[in-house]
Amino acid sequence: MIRVFIVAASSLARAGLQNLAAGRDVEVVGSAPNFESLGGQWPDVEADVVLVEASGGQAEAVLDSLAASQLAAEATIVVLADRAEARWFADALRAGVRAVLPSDVSPEQLAAALEAAAAGLVVMHPGEVAAVLPATEPAAQPFAELAEPLTPRESEVLQMLATGLGNKEIAARLAISEHTVKFHVASILGKLGAGSRTEAVSLGIRRGLVLL
């Protein structure tokens, strides 16, 4: 059984939270309109979690009051709040809040969050995770320098490979033999670490060796 103390500005909100939590292995042991009122009661309150209602644009004010009361150092705090700025979620967690949930959380989700917070875990609704942990693009891994750079002639051949020319056509354009073209292609594959002409072109493009 999780013992919960409710903090909400209005009596209607306090009653609503009590109904939301009741009967799900949760016992509401008291309520107060603000942290100042709770401060006088706290020494006599045997609560596992303080459930705070911070909807309706109250999020900033609630966080300021929580910091002033220093209650987070003594109690496990779970906050229900409307969607707020990403900075607020980060500040709430740094202030010692154990769980931040949307105001429309289901009774089952609330009960699970209260239990997890009481056990010492940090809980967030999946919809709010992105606010604290924004997605980042993975950093592109730079290519290592080629152990042996392409010669000017090999660069020409690679560029022609990229246009789809065969060995015979490349030989004609460069006025060299097909045997020499094959030699250059083999050298290009080896230097780029490619297993085929197509892969060599792909690697050449990614390395900036092929002009598109």
- Specify if 142 maps to a domain: no
Q: Is the Cβ–Cβ distance between 52 and 7 less than 8 Å? A: yes
**Quick one: CA dihedral 83, 84, 86, 90, positive or negative?**
negative
Tens-level pLDDT at each residue, the chain (212 residues): 888 888 888 888 888 888 887 766 788 888 888 877 776 666 677 888 888 888 766 777 877 877 777 777 778 888 888 765 666 777 777 778 888 888 888 888 888 888 888 888 888 766 666 655 655 555 556 667 888 899 999 999 999 998 889 999 999 999 999 999 999 999 999 999 999 999 999 898 888 888 76
Whether residues 103 and 192 share a domain: the answer is no
Domain of residue 156 covers 152-206
Q: Domain count for the chain, please give it.
A: 2
Whether residues 62 and 163 share a domain: the answer is no
pLDDT at 180: 94
Whether residues 28 and 124 share a domain: the answer is yes
Whether residues 78 and 6 share a domain: the answer is yes
- The pTM score is 0.58
pLDDT at 145: 81
Look up the CATH number of the domain holding residue 78. Answer: 3.40.50.2300
Alpha-carbon Rg for the chain, nearest whole angstrom, is 32
With tokens 């606010």, the residue in question is 131
pLDDT at 45: 74
